[in-house]
Chain A
Amino acid sequence: MQFRRIWMSLISLLGCFVPLLGQDSLSVRGALDDTLMLRNATVTARSREQKLREGAFAVGALNIRLQASTLQSLTQAIDRTAGIRIREEGGVGSEFDLSINGMSGNSIRYFLDGMPLDAKGSGMTLANLPVNIIDRVEIYKGVIPASFGSDALGGAVNIITNRRNRNYLDFSYGFGSFHTHKADFNAQYTGKKTGIILKPVISASYSKNNYIMRDVKVRNEEHTAFVIKDLPRFHDDYLSLFGQLEAGVADRSWTDAFFVSASVAMIDKDIQTGATQDHVIGMAERHSRAVNVSARYEKADFLTEGLQLLATVSQTWDHSQTIDTTYRRYYWDGTYIDGSYSEIRGRGKTWRHYHRPLTVVRANLNYRFAEGHDLALNYLLNRAGNRQEDAWDTEFEPSSDVLAKHIVSLSYDQSLLGGRLNNAFFVKDYINHLTVGQNELPSTTGADKVTGSNTQNYLGGGLGSRYLFLDELAVKGSYEHSIRLPVSREVLGNGSTIYANVALKPEISENFNLGLFGTADLGGGHSLSYEVNGFFRLVDNYIRATVTETESMMQYVNVDAVHIKGVDGEIRYDWAGKLHIAANASFDDSRDMRKYTQSGDLSVTYRNRTPNRPWAYANTEVSYTFHQVGLRDSRLRLGFDYQYVHWFYLTWEAYGSASTKSKVPTQHITNASLLYSWRGGRYNLSLECTNLLNALAFDNYRLQKPGRAFFLKFRLFL
């Protein structure tokens, strides 16, 4: 099979590359400085994550570098954060949806070192980004600093990659249930004479995702009746390859850092189901290829003292294909009958090509005009094209759409009273330009209502403030009038399971956050920290995904007025770096507040909870670390975590009787992990068991998630 051949080639390639880079040219000074174990000493300095949490905005911060040896994907770690919920459609490489404080995934923007993540290709997500290259993750809840120049509404996830000042090599390989393999390689090498820094990254993951689907209907041997069976998925292979080379210089007179990079991303994905698992697919596939080139320039004291410039330009050529050229009706046992309609769209055969070039230009000018006073001007251009053509359907008329956003923001940050009081103020201007060329299914996609080009302008702004009374007690609050322009997936569809809705309007929201946090050193190595955040969102034109009744397709639609209020909290306890206990809980209450319909009648869904979204969930995790177990400079960490997600309705509460309504059931998921590191973290071996109790779990309606799975990972850090 093609996947297997590619996989074996890649492993061989990595096998050759590792010894080369592991030679003396690398400065091998021990590994993972950040995880050095200090015996007989107490370090109480604040971590970067702690400092970020103590800023004016509501932020969740995760240190990924410490978890990289055990994590399979970034989504695992983020999903355990307070106020965050990730809903996955299936196994490795499946689509997922992230929500922050109740705002759905597409209200959330993703950044990689401040640049939109999709610049690496539409297929690159939190789920397949190499974990080893990541230092930390910042999760902004509701209000987002102006420096991102983003139109996010519910929040933003900013992934910060490692920036070490020394050469290193980092390689890991893991394998597990459902024929899952993952390999990550990244390194840094600085030429002794030229000072040119090279940073290669190679990452690959593959899975058959052939986990067992329980209680599915298949035909009996005579094909005369249905019988219920447990059967493995049979058409869900996933292969992701990512390679990147970054080269540049640092600490020169003309720049603090100047890097150019080129990356290639390739994703092949079999499609197993439609929007629900009743719709079994056995042949359709999706492929995406993306090439990105970018350049980054940083300079402090640019033109004048105190003025800092950060400029980035990026161009991505993204080409994806959805192949839906089979008239077959599949059953879960892999058998089929020839049908009359294509598998995904339920219409004629299609081999749709999508060319989505993406141009991103970002510039930040930050001027510190006095100590503790910073003024910043930010600009972001995000231009996404969407050219469609069909290699099979000769009747399809090629189309070309363009979605361009210009976002300009101005911010002022101040630090007063010796740093006890921090304030931030910002204004943003959003300009959205849409050119619609597609005219397929116009009454469904709205292409008959929105034609040609149109440009719209929106203004937003906000502020944040934090006051530190004591280490044990601080308060912070923030507000933003934010605009969220629809993303291309929402407006233009994905060509397979999501219809376009070119008439979709931007979301507009008033976001309020109020939080308390603190850390108490209890002595004797015991420390306790806590954080509680309340939030309130008043959203107009809330964008919600609906599963259409026809052909299991999805489409994004506007809901007039939605109010979301809620609270999340987290408490963390640590004893001498050995025992770590954390628990968080999140509750949000999102309601339809449109009292009257357009016609003037009382809306039957008035004050109903917004359907098809989790609103109560909790996580707990416990880990214990043993030091010096067996080998020199070793440690053994045993971890256990539990996730709870309360059930929720698929549709509005007012529609239909409670006993017959479709629900996404409650989930109880337990995971366990074991990590053994030796030689100061140079060698790491981990074993993880997800869904330990093999619970039947659904994040989405009738899309069963994997059962119990094991994953063994080895990581080498030189």
Chain B
Amino acid sequence: MKKMLAILAIAMVSMMMLAISCEKPEPEPEPEPEPVVKDYNFDLFVCAVKHGGMSKNKNGTYVRSVPALTADQPRVEFTGKGIDITEDYTLESITRGKYYYQVPQRATGGFVKFHIERNAAGEERIVEDAEVPFKENVYAARKYTHAWVGDSTTLVIVGTADKATKIIWSKLSESTLAVQSEGTLAISLPEGFNAFSTSGLLTYRKSDKKLYYFYLAKREAGQSDAATSVTYIAVIDPATMQVESNTAVPSSVMEETAGSAYGELMQSMIMYDEADNLYVAGMVTVNDQEMGILRRIPVGSKTFDASWNGFPNPEGKLLTVQYLGYGRALCYSRDESLGTKIDSKSHFYSIIDLASGTRMRVKYNGTDLQYCGGRFSQRSVVVNGKAYIGVGGEVEGEAEATYPTIYIYDCKTGTVEKGVELSKGFCFDIIRAMEVE
């Protein structure tokens, strides 16, 4: 009898949890969120010993490319496997289709385009498709931001020069990487400040065919704790690279973007919805503590809508945002009360309902996904209507109770299923979905 009661209880709890996790969203129009990618691999980046973002890693960066992240896949092993990219490439990269584009680590003085191939035995290798030297403008590995313009055949790269006192740009051909044109943006340092932010954030909005460049200035170059100016939004004509407007953002609206040093080479901080509203993750100071904020530049406008905040009552910093479709976004943020170090196990995933401004922790079987270490990471990717969310227990000094695991969120239904596991012993930093031809 006791056994039957126990089985019954377990069954009831299971049904309840399933109901919670499979909670259906309100009926609403269902536009196709993103073009369907026919075939793709997932490239998983890990670092040895410590997390690798923000060039913090000194122990090596390794990447494996796998065809699927579903639970039926074997655990992804990294010991003695994967491509060692440490000496040649950076963890941070521009990606599009099957290709990676970057200023490589090996410092040969140019840009490189490559892709990752996997042979029949599942072993990966990097194939370089193009490498071109810098023309006049020189960029350092990682320290730039980018946007694809027009029909995405042109890549615009923006960085800083002369001890970060001027902002330079280059336009590259997507196919050959040839530098088509380059120059310096007509933006001056605000009075009293002597350096621009390392890269700022650049994005291209299709609806008005404009580049939006978010930047700020620092009192002293190279110092992370230097006093900063307000954030500015420069609207740029991508054809001429002329700055059409340059607007200061009131501190109450947003003090800084969520990141301003390495563009979106690693973390996604800007997103668009179907209507082409532009969303930017940022920070404001609340009670002497930097807290996350999500602002929106409505379609047709060139400034933030100060009345709208997609990340109210924050627990801490907002680190990444990715649009899921259906008026929802996936965000990665931090609970300051649980720790503020890079490896603090205080980072978690939530789903934001952009219409209501409410958000809810991502759950699996009714339980919140666990907190993660890795402030500088991008372990989530959205492709073909699904968000693949990586949760790792990799925190220096703490035993990993579980294997790093991928959870798969269905953007349409909101259901969450467990995916593949990754081996322990490495710091899991990035998932990228890369097309396969």
Binding site for B on A (CB under 8 A): 217, 219, 223-226, 274, 276, 278-280, 327, 329-331, 337-341, 346-349, 395, 546-550, 552, 555, 557, 597-604, 650-662, 701-702
User: CB of B221 within 8 A of chain A?
Assistant: yes
Q: Are B123 and A223 in contact (CB under 8 A)?
A: no
Contacts of B426 in A (CB 8 A): 604
Closest CB-CB distance, A562 to chain B, in whole Å?
A: 16
In the complex, 15 of the A-B residue pairs with CB atoms within 8 angstroms, ordered by the A residue number, are A224-B178, A226-B131, A276-B87, A331-B109, A348-B163, A348-B221, A552-B107, A601-B425, A602-B425, A604-B78, A604-B425, A651-B48, A656-B84, A660-B124, A660-B125
Q: Are A278 and B108 in contact (CB under 8 A)?
A: yes
Contacts of B425 in A (CB 8 A): 597, 601-604
Which one, A225, A341, A650, contacts B87 given CB within 8 A?
A650
Closest to A600 in B: B399
Q: Are A329 and B138 in contact (CB under 8 A)?
A: yes
14 further contact pairs, Cβ within 8 A, besides A226-B131, A651-B86, A660-B124: A219-B109, A226-B132, A274-B107, A340-B162, A601-B424, A604-B426, A650-B87, A653-B80, A655-B59, A655-B84, A656-B62, A657-B80, A662-B87, A701-B87
User: CB of B209 within 8 A of chain A?
Assistant: no
Q: Are B123 and A659 in contact (CB under 8 A)?
A: yes
Q: Are A656 and B82 in contact (CB under 8 A)?
A: yes
Residue among B60, B109, B140, B400 having the largest count of chain A Cβ atoms under 10 Å:
B109
Contacts of A225 in B (CB 8 A): 131-133
Q: B169-208 vs A: 1/0 string, CB under 8 Å?
A: 0000000001100000000000000000000000000000
Q: Are B58 and A337 in contact (CB under 8 A)?
A: no
Q: B98-141 vs A: 1/0 string, CB under 8 Å?
A: 00000001111110000000000001111000011111101110
Q: B64-87 vs A: 1/0 string, CB under 8 Å?
A: 000000000000001111111011
Closest CB-CB distance, B105 to chain A, in whole Å?
A: 6
User: CB of B422 within 8 A of chain A?
Assistant: no
Instruction: Tell me whether chain A's interface is mostly helix, strand or loop, or mixed.
Output: loop
Q: B273-290 vs A: 1/0 string, CB under 8 Å?
A: 000000000000000000
Which one, A330, A550, A555, A660, contacts B55 given CB within 8 A?
A550
Q: Are B58 and A656 in contact (CB under 8 A)?
A: no
Q: Are A660 and B80 in contact (CB under 8 A)?
A: no
User: CB of B378 within 8 A of chain A?
Assistant: no
Contacts of A604 in B (CB 8 A): 48, 78-79, 425-426
In the bound assembly, the distance between CA atoms of A640 and B399 in angstroms comes to: 56
User: CB of B32 within 8 A of chain A?
Assistant: no
Closest CB-CB distance, B192 to chain A, in whole Å?
A: 16
Closest A-B pairs by Cβ, 10 of them: A656-B84, A339-B138, A340-B161, A604-B425, A600-B399, A278-B106, A660-B83, A219-B133, A550-B55, A279-B107
Contacts of A329 in B (CB 8 A): 109, 134, 138
In the bound assembly, the distance between CA atoms of A224 and B178 in angstroms comes to: 7
Q: How large is the interface on B (under 10, 10 to 19, 20 to 34, 35 or more residues)?
A: 35 or more
In the bound assembly, the distance between CA atoms of A424 and B131 in angstroms comes to: 63
In the bound assembly, the distance between CA atoms of A603 and B424 in angstroms comes to: 9
Q: Are B109 and A341 in contact (CB under 8 A)?
A: no
In the bound assembly, the distance between CA atoms of A57 and B266 in angstroms comes to: 55
Q: Are A223 and B138 in contact (CB under 8 A)?
A: no
Contacts of B29 in A (CB 8 A): none
Q: Are A546 and B110 in contact (CB under 8 A)?
A: no
Given contacts A224-B132, A340-B160, A650-B87, contact A655 B48 (CB under 8 A): yes
Contacts of A658 in B (CB 8 A): 80
In the bound assembly, the distance between CA atoms of A202 and B102 in angstroms comes to: 52
In the bound assembly, the distance between CA atoms of A555 and B132 in angstroms comes to: 31
Contacts of B55 in A (CB 8 A): 549-550
User: CB of B398 within 8 A of chain A?
Assistant: yes
Q: Are B140 and A599 in contact (CB under 8 A)?
A: no
Q: Are B108 and A217 in contact (CB under 8 A)?
A: yes
Q: Are B80 and A340 in contact (CB under 8 A)?
A: no
Closest CB-CB distance, A339 to chain B, in whole Å?
A: 4
In the bound assembly, the distance between CA atoms of A254 and B94 in angstroms comes to: 77
In the bound assembly, the distance between CA atoms of A656 and B84 in angstroms comes to: 5
Closest CB-CB distance, B319 to chain A, in whole Å?
A: 19
Closest CB-CB distance, B23 to chain A, in whole Å?
A: 35
Closest to B122 in A: A657
In the bound assembly, the distance between CA atoms of A213 and B400 in angstroms comes to: 47
Which one, A548, A552, A652, A662, contacts B48 given CB within 8 A?
A652
Given contacts A276-B87, A348-B222, contact A659 B140 (CB under 8 A): no
Q: Are A347 and B222 in contact (CB under 8 A)?
A: yes
Q: Are A327 and B48 in contact (CB under 8 A)?
A: no
Contacts of A653 in B (CB 8 A): 80
Contacts of B391 in A (CB 8 A): none
Q: Are A226 and B398 in contact (CB under 8 A)?
A: no
Closest CB-CB distance, A625 to chain B, in whole Å?
A: 47
Residue among A547, A549, A654, A660 having the largest count of chain B Cβ atoms under 10 Å:
A549
User: CB of B57 within 8 A of chain A?
Assistant: yes
Contacts of A661 in B (CB 8 A): 84
Closest to A554 in B: B58
Q: Are A557 and B58 in contact (CB under 8 A)?
A: yes
Contacts of B324 in A (CB 8 A): none
Contacts of B79 in A (CB 8 A): 604, 654
In the bound assembly, the distance between CA atoms of A548 and B62 in angstroms comes to: 15
User: CB of B27 within 8 A of chain A?
Assistant: no
In the bound assembly, the distance between CA atoms of A483 and B136 in angstroms comes to: 52
Closest to B160 in A: A340
In the bound assembly, the distance between CA atoms of A331 and B132 in angstroms comes to: 13
Closest CB-CB distance, A553 to chain B, in whole Å?
A: 9
Q: B382-418 vs A: 1/0 string, CB under 8 Å?
A: 0000000000000111111000000000000000000
Closest CB-CB distance, B214 to chain A, in whole Å?
A: 20
Closest CB-CB distance, A56 to chain B, in whole Å?
A: 41
Q: Are A346 and B140 in contact (CB under 8 A)?
A: yes
Given contacts A346-B140, A601-B424, A651-B60, contact A656 B83 (CB under 8 A): yes
Q: Are B106 and A599 in contact (CB under 8 A)?
A: no
Contacts of A657 in B (CB 8 A): 80-84, 123-124
User: CB of B159 within 8 A of chain A?
Assistant: yes
User: CB of B61 within 8 A of chain A?
Assistant: yes
Which one, B60, B133, B136, B139, contacts A656 given CB within 8 A?
B60
Contacts of B86 in A (CB 8 A): 549, 651, 662
Contacts of A662 in B (CB 8 A): 84, 86-87
Contacts of A348 in B (CB 8 A): 163, 221-222
Closest to A552 in B: B107
Q: Are B131 and A555 in contact (CB under 8 A)?
A: no
Closest to A649 in B: B84
Q: Are A549 and B132 in contact (CB under 8 A)?
A: no
In the bound assembly, the distance between CA atoms of A653 and B79 in angstroms comes to: 9
User: CB of B220 within 8 A of chain A?
Assistant: yes
Contacts of B135 in A (CB 8 A): 223, 337
Contacts of B110 in A (CB 8 A): 226
In the bound assembly, the distance between CA atoms of A658 and B132 in angstroms comes to: 28
Contacts of B139 in A (CB 8 A): 340
In the bound assembly, the distance between CA atoms of A341 and B131 in angstroms comes to: 21
Closest CB-CB distance, B129 to chain A, in whole Å?
A: 13
In the bound assembly, the distance between CA atoms of A18 and B162 in angstroms comes to: 54
Contacts of B107 in A (CB 8 A): 274, 276, 278-279, 552
Contacts of A337 in B (CB 8 A): 109, 134-136, 138
Q: Are B58 and A660 in contact (CB under 8 A)?
A: no
Given contacts A348-B222, A651-B84, contact A338 B132 (CB under 8 A): no
In the bound assembly, the distance between CA atoms of A662 and B109 in angstroms comes to: 20
Q: Are B133 and A341 in contact (CB under 8 A)?
A: no
Closest to A225 in B: B132
Given contacts A226-B110, A603-B425, A657-B124, contact A341 B140 (CB under 8 A): yes
In the bound assembly, the distance between CA atoms of A2 and B260 in angstroms comes to: 45
Q: Are A599 and B159 in contact (CB under 8 A)?
A: no
In the bound assembly, the distance between CA atoms of A701 and B61 in angstroms comes to: 17
Contacts of B163 in A (CB 8 A): 340, 348-349
Q: Are B57 and A549 in contact (CB under 8 A)?
A: yes
Q: Are B133 and A276 in contact (CB under 8 A)?
A: no
Q: Are B82 and A338 in contact (CB under 8 A)?
A: no
In the bound assembly, the distance between CA atoms of A659 and B83 in angstroms comes to: 8
